[in-house]
Amino acid sequence: MFRRHPLLSLVTVGYLGLVGWITLGPQPLNSQDQRLLARILSYFGNHDATRWINYNLVEFSANVAMFVPLGVFFLLLLGRRRAWLAMLLGVVITVGIETAQLFIAGRVSDPRDVLANSAGTLIGVLAALVITAPAARRARRAQPRNP
């Protein structure tokens, strides 16, 4: 797998490192970032049409979005037949992250993050399945038929 796709493997490992740094490293929001986010959310909260946009939604959506690329990368590395394994890897990684956060000062482990991250991985796997479907159909048509 890694020998067949060395660049994709390198990108995947790099992205996993980034996810690890974001989820297990120092808190990413400093007080200035928090003030900016609070102002933006306050703006949305002052309008009826966007009042539903709140911190919980933004955080949940960010967690989903962060794991979509992992689903894509894992499926491309493992292949369409192992889509289940690509999804399982995403779940295992997110459970590992949330478990590790229990022991890191300043971090909060949240079961909703497991749901959001797993949903992101699933979306990524499904997107990769859709993107690779035409090539998979061409490959099936090119295979010789057994009599």
Look at residue 110 and give its three-state secondary structure: coil
d(CA 5, CA 95): 27
Report the run of H or E that residue 131 belongs to, with start and end: helix 111-142
Is 92 or 58 the better-scoring residue by pLDDT? 92
Structural tokens at position 47: 């309008």
**How many Cβ atoms from other residues are within 10 Å of residue 89's Cβ?**
20
The pTM of the full predicted model, rounded to 2 decimals, is 0.83
In angstroms, the first-to-last Cα distance of the chain is 31
Contact 15, 69 (CB under 8 A): yes
**Per-residue pLDDT tens digits for 16-66:** 999 999 898 876 556 666 777 778 878 788 888 888 888 888 889 999 999
d(CA 64, CA 45): 22
